[in-house]
Amino acid sequence: MSLLAVGVSHRTAPVALLERCAMDTGDVAAALHRLVAADSVHEALVLATCNRVEVLAEVDGCHDGMAEVSRVLARHAGVVVEELSPYLTVHRGDRAVAHLFAVAAGLDSMVVGEPQVLGQLRAAYALAQGEGTVGRVLHPLAQRALRVGKRVRSETGIDRAGPSLVAVALDRVEDRTGPLRGRPALVVGAGSMGALAATTLARRGAAVTVSSRTTASARRLAGRVGGRAADPADLPREVAAADVLLTCTGAPGPVLGAGVVSRAMRGRPERPLVVLDLALPRDVDPAVGALPAVHVVDLALLQREARAGGGAAVAADALAAARALVEAETARPAGRRPDSDRRSPARQGPALVPSRPTDPRPPGDPR
């Protein structure tokens, strides 16, 4: 048996390709079942974020396993394997473990140290559990990765040093607009990223309006941040009133066209609009960026800045401590907890590793 981590990420692939590879929850569930239906793949977990789409799999052999995983990813992206292969990263065995731990710790993110990826990994693991595609190998490994991510955040200081992708994007806005305090800001999307965006904007003093396809979700989020909810039908008027527009929906294609923004700008030719598109696939029509007085910050721009070393920096000591912890955890035998994580039996909660983990293989399967 072998362990593989295969996928595309902001480190290797342009945003245009990441968009094609992007998966929502339904896509991930379908991919999980395609993966474990292959003869060479026994268990699978898929982590799909705005920075990456990666598969962690237990396979019979690395060559056949990589071929199967590549086929599933290429099929979803609508490309042939040969088109996708140059952008794939592949980690095997202990290197796959080290990569997973680094991802959980935020060390492989576009914004190093960002905390959101740990929750995304937790959600990916829960989905794989629900679909029955993790078993004796990936159950304990995913749980170890979650523990490592938590330890890195609690013991190294990287959690205090590492900003979120939203915070970095809003820094770019303030470079252009100055402080956001008192400025009208429109958030389109009320999911986890929308909630983070609305919260961060509110903390910076912006007057937050939330628009979502689900009005009830918009109202809940707006209430939490002291903002107001907008009717989706009023989007053109809300765009016209905003100084900052941040989009982060899970839509399969653009939700904001150049026509809507162009009409909104006619009544405010001297007042610029900064658009932050943090969705994958992108929410904003690329033509919006060509409109007068409109500046677009999207994942492609943040990716270029990260590759050029222009992103937010994490303190060197926190980064070194985080990397050392990941290295030590990778080298530690499975099943043995570090001293700092051991508790007396009387104080321990429920066991993290199920006594009878789900095995995705059918009864009698000799694999």
For the beta carbon of residue 186, count every other beta carbon within 10 angstroms: 26
Is 50 noted as a catalytic residue in this protein?
Answer: yes
Catalytic residue among 21, 50, 62, 248: 50
CA distances from 56 to 6, 103, 141 (A): 7, 12, 10
**23-46 exposure pattern, b = at least 16 Cβ within 10 A, e = fewer:** beeebbbebbebbbebebbbbbbb
Q: Is the dihedral of CA 121, 28, 60, 88 positive or negative?
A: negative
Phi, psi of 133 (to 5 degrees): -110, 5
The beta strands (E) that lie in the chain are given as: 2-9, 41-48, 52-59, 89-92, 184-188, 207-211, 228-230, 244-247, 273-277, 294-298
For the beta carbon of residue 182, count every other beta carbon within 10 angstroms: 9
Single-letter amino acid code for the residue at 359: D
DSSP track, 194-242:
HHHHHHHHHHTT-EEEEE-SSHHHHHHHHHHHT-EEE-GGGHHHHHHH-
For the beta carbon of residue 184, count every other beta carbon within 10 angstroms: 15
Phi, psi of 330 (to 5 degrees): -65, -40
Phi, psi of 333 (to 5 degrees): -60, 140
**How would you list the strands of the sheet with 41-48, edge to edge?**
41-48, 52-59, 2-9, 89-92
CA-based nearest residue to 102, from 32, 167, 54: 54
Q: Give the whole-angstrom CA distance, residue 181 versus residue 178.
A: 9
Task: Give the catalytic positions in this structure.
Answer: 50
